[in-house]
A = this chain, B = another copy of it.
């Protein structure tokens, strides 16, 4: 298969953005191709479409599978492995957020927890300790919140997002009855 000119623009863009997203050019291109392909593709299809070496395609597919961004599939009567990107864009977002948290935030949270558990901190380290505590507190608050959001049903999340700044009133409203009762 050969990507159309329209698909090509998207594929090249993902290749270029790859380095900013922490993946390499070939991984970005493979993902983009699968994302805009209506049917699952096998490694030969991908090699032909993107003009890269077979081993680059294999490595790229492995990396994308480790991120859970592509799915392995089999077609009836065909022993080759096929790959596709999940249909559901919300599922993709959720996977990305989880995988990035695992790689980019979790290791730092455990490093901070270990350091903060040390009981014998010299006075000269008090400032560093206080800064590390600040960082851990914020990370725990934000990641905890994101976990809870990802457990919510999608309709609630969309409603919340569409509310935007209007959430202030809502969060405030709940506190009002108590406040007026006290006055």
State the number of copies, please: 2
In the complex, whether A164 has a CB less than 8 A from a CB of chain B is yes
Q: Which residue of B has the minimal Cβ distance to A132? A: B10
In the complex, whether A52 has a CB less than 8 A from a CB of chain B is no
Q: Give the docked Cα–Cα distance between A8 and B150 (Å).
A: 35
In the complex, whether A124 has a CB less than 8 A from a CB of chain B is yes
Stretch binding the partner chain, chosen from A14-22, A40-48, A58-66, A74-82: A14-22
Cβ-defined partner of A128 (8 Å) among B10, B21, B22, B160: B10
Chain A: residues with Cβ within 8 Å of the partner, total of: 61
Cβ-defined partner of A104 (8 Å) among B20, B35, B107, B142: B20
Residues of B within 8 A of A103 (CB): 20
The reply to whether A174 and B165 form a contact with Cβ atoms under 8 Å apart is no
Once A20-B103, A36-B127 are accepted as A-B contacts, the answer to whether A167 and B160 lie under 8 Å apart by CB is: yes
In the complex, whether A182 has a CB less than 8 A from a CB of chain B is no
Chain A window 127-159, contacts with chain B (Cβ cutoff 8 Å), 1 for yes, 0 for no: 111011011001001101100110111001011
The reply to whether B36 and A132 form a contact with Cβ atoms under 8 Å apart is yes
Cβ-defined partner of A167 (8 Å) among B128, B156, B162: B156
Q: Give the docked Cα–Cα distance between A138 and B154 (Å).
A: 12
In the complex, whether A113 has a CB less than 8 A from a CB of chain B is no
Residues of B within 8 A of A170 (CB): 170-171, 173-174
Residues of B within 8 A of A144 (CB): 161, 164
Residues of B within 8 A of A104 (CB): 17, 20-21
Q: Give the docked Cα–Cα distance between A121 and B138 (Å).
A: 46
* Seed contacts A13-B108, A20-B104, A151-B165; 6 additional CB < 8 Å A-B pairs: A10-B111, A17-B104, A141-B158, A141-B161, A153-B168, A160-B167
